[in-house]
Structure 1
C-alpha cells in the first residue's frame, strides 16, 4: 500500500516538473548559443538531437534553409518549421522543438571562480554565486550589477541576491568598502 502511494506521489511530482519545464520553454526566447532538439515524427532525416544556434541566432534545416530563431519561442519555431514543411514537402508534419541546453550566463568580479556557467530555469543570483564558488572576502552583496539584453539593447541594472538570472546575463560583483 505504501509503495503504491509513493509511486503515485512521484508520478504526480514528475508530471508537475514536466509541465513547469514545458511552460518555461513556451515563454523562453531563443538566442545565439542555445541548443535545441527538433523531432519530425516519422522522418529521421529531418530530426536532430542537437542544433546549436549560431551567432546570429539562426540554424540551417533541410529543404527549408536558414531559419531565424532569435527572439522566438520553441513553439514559434515549431510552427514555422511545420508551415514550411507543409508547403510542398510533407502532408501533415508533426514537429516538436525543445531547448536542450540554454545559453550561458557570465559572472565576474569578487567570486572565487569567475567565468561562464550554463543557465538553469529558475536560477537566482545567490545560486549563481554558489555555482561560481561563492563570494571572496572582499565582495559586496550590495554592489552587484547585471547587464542583460532587453529589446535588442544591452541594459545595466543593479541587482540583489534574490534577482532572477537570465541566459546571457553578465553579472559583476564589486568589492565592498571596509
Structure 2
C-alpha cells in the first residue's frame, strides 16, 4: 500500500510539472520541425480538426481547403495564427484554432551506450536521462568525451557536453570510449 501511495504522489508531481509555468514557457518557445506530431483543433468544426498529423521531412503539413502549410521553425502559437488567418473570411467568420504538440521529434544517441538509436524527446530531458533511456553506458564509455550536434545548428558542429547538458529535439549525441 505504501508503494502505491508513493506512486500516486509521483504521478501528482509529474502533472504539476507539466502544468508549471516553466514547462508552459518552454513549450511556447518550442520551434516545430520535421518529425513533430501535432493536433489541430478548430472549435465547432470537426471536419477542419486533425487529431494527429506528423510534419513532413520539409516541416510542412497538408490542411483541408488551404493546402500545404509550412510549420518548420514556427511555434505552435504562430501556426495557430497562420491557420486562423487563412481560414478567416473564405471559410469561417471567426475561427478559433488551437495547435498542440503531441510528440516531439526524436533525439539520437550513439557510441558507448548499450542501446544506441533514436528515442522520443521529452521536455526537460538531460543527457544523463537520455543515457538511461539508451540502457546506460558501456564499461568502455568516457563521461568526459561526449559531444552533441544540435539539430538547429546549420553548421552541424559538434559541441562538448556533460551528463547534465539539457537536450533538445533532434540532437545527436556521441559518447566516445575512454582511454585507460
TM-score scaled by length of structure 2: 0.88
Verify the 8 A CA contact 1:25 1:98 in the aligned structure 2. no
Structure 2 unaligned residues grouped into runs of 5+? 1-10
How many residues are treated as equivalent by the alignment?
Answer: 169
In the TM superposition, what are the counterparts of 1:19-58 in structure 2 within 5 Å? Answer: 19-20=20-21, 21-58=23-60
Q: 1:152 to 1:70 in 2, by over 3 A?
A: farther
**Residue in 1 aligned with 2:124?**
122
Q: 1:88 to 1:152 in 2, by over 3 A?
A: farther
RMSD, aligned CA: 1.8
Q: 1:19 to 1:94 in 2, by over 3 A?
A: farther
- The match for 1:163 among 162, 165, 179 is 165
Deviation at 1:49? 1.1
**Residue in 2 aligned with 1:18?**
19
Structure 1 unaligned residues grouped into runs of 5+? 1-9
Q: Deviations over 1:128-151 (max 9, x none)?
A: 000000000000000000011235
Verify the 8 A CA contact 1:34 1:103 in the aligned structure 2. yes
Q: 1:121 to 1:26 in 2, by over 3 A?
A: same
Normalized per residue, which structure has more strand?
1
Verify the 8 A CA contact 2:151 2:169 in the aligned structure 1. no
Verify the 8 A CA contact 1:30 1:73 in the aligned structure 2. yes
Deviation at 1:15? 5.9
**Residue in 1 aligned with 2:92?**
90
Q: 1:11 to 1:107 in 2, by over 3 A?
A: closer
Q: Partner of 2:65: helix, strand, or coil? A: coil
